Amino acid sequence: MIANAYELIVNILTAIGIYEPVYGFFQSFGLEYLLRIIIVVVEIVVLLVFVLLSVMFLSWLERKMFGWVQSRYGPMVTGPHGLFQPIADGIKLVGKEDIIPASADRWIFTLAPFIIFVPALLVFVPLPFGDTLILSDLRMGLIYIIAISALSPVSILLAGWASNNKYSLMGAMRAVAQDISYTIPLALAAIAVVLYVGSLSTVDIVRAQEGTWFGIIPRWFIFMQPLAFILFLIASIAEMGRIPFDFQESEQELVAGFFTEYSGMKFAMYFLGEYAHLFAVSGVVVTIFLGGWTGPVLSPIPVQITSLVYFIIKTYAVILFAMWLRDTVPRVRIDQLLNLGWKIMIPLALLNLLVTSFLLTARVI
């Protein structure tokens, strides 16, 4: 049984007959661990490249979709249908002057963009892209994901404070208030699923969703836990800080919120971080509620490929939903959002948890 991507690589290398001689070569120097390090580095590089390409594609897709909804074309000039627009944007941003305001706290101001980008990438560690396509199947994977996601307001607060700008500070304060009130329903909604699965491992959660009811309805948790799914989705969008919950940067009120003072590459880091976060959170939603990589097996094709395709399709469906939401609705007010979080979503999540645990104890489900 292959557990993660490392073992998968070893298996493939063994099957084509490369692994043994290479392993023997390293063994002769007593450096087996070096081979293991190389394989892990390759995994990380592949993941990074995949994420960065996805982020670039997403930024193009977002603008394109914005265009379609608004009855215009969106980017059209650079490349076919403006496909190279993200590259042009990247070059432009790298070429820009990196301004640090005179009254800003230089160190924290420089550090903050990196702190937002790193957690967005770390979420990918226990995220199963497909059958066995996972960096590490952590036993407390779900807790890890929620904990890492909760790091982003720290970076936003650092950025807002270090900028020494009133709009930035207000944006940062909003982000923190918003995040505290939305991590709780997020975790509570996820725990209802965990109760049923009996494990925090993301792989176990996906495996529990394999198969179908009556041969047609897939056993996804969206059907078993619809309320939890809705709560989790709303909380995720709030976590991502997208319209209708984009208070940290709400353009029309706070100019650009916490990154008002940023320019050039640091601004690009926020931009990348935002889309990496969008991808990661959508992946988590798919993993927990939409059956992760599960789908019909097409026997001649390796299950790794089909499962990866299923996962990507589902993730993009969630991403497109988030983008569609951004294109259509206005922004709610910060106090209305907090009201929604504390007075409606947390009680509902608790109720959902209560009902789920009751039914589980009574062995109804």
Alpha-helical runs (H) found in the chain: 5-15, 19-28, 32-69, 85-95, 106-122, 141-149, 152-163, 166-197, 202-207, 221-224, 226-240, 251-254, 264-289, 303-328, 334-339, 346-361
Number of residues located near other proteins, criterion CB under 8 A? 27
Least Å distance between CB 36 and other proteins?
A: 49
Is the Cβ–Cβ distance between 131 and 293 less than 8 Å?
yes
Least Å distance between CB 225 and other proteins?
A: 24
Q: Which of residues 281-340 bind other proteins (CB under 8 A)?
A: 327-336
Which tokens is 364 given?
A: 């109804």
Q: Which of residues 232-261 bind other proteins (CB under 8 A)?
A: 243-244, 246, 250-255
**Cα 257 to Cα 248: distance, rounded to the nearest angstrom:** 5
Q: Which of residues 130-169 bind other proteins (CB under 8 A)?
A: 166-167
Least Å distance between CB 361 and other proteins?
A: 37
Letters for 92-131 (x = contact with other proteins by CB under 8 A, - = none) are: ----------------------------------------
Choose between 210 and 327: whose C-beta lies nearer to other proteins. Answer: 327
* Residue 133: HSE in the Cβ half-sphere, 13 Å Cα cutoff: 21
Choose between 243 and 286: whose C-beta lies nearer to other proteins. Answer: 243
Alpha-helical runs (H) found in 241-263: 251-254
**Cα 226 to Cα 213: distance, rounded to the nearest angstrom:** 16
Least Å distance between CB 244 and other proteins?
A: 6
355 CB contacts (<8 Å, ≥6 apart)? Answer: none
Is residue 342 a contact residue for other proteins (CB under 8 A)?
Answer: no
Options 11, 14, 27, 70; binder of other proteins; rule CB under 8 A? 70
DSSP state of 133: B
Task: Identify the residue whose tokens are 């560690």.
Answer: 125
**Phi, psi for residue 130 in degrees, rounded to 5:** -175, 180
Choose between 246 and 261: whose C-beta lies nearer to other proteins. Answer: 246
Choose between 314 and 331: whose C-beta lies nearer to other proteins. Answer: 331
Least Å distance between CB 252 and other proteins?
A: 4
**SS3 of 344, please?**
helix
Q: Which residue ranges make up the site for other proteins (CB under 8 A)?
A: 66, 69-72, 166-167, 170, 243-244, 246, 250-255, 327-336
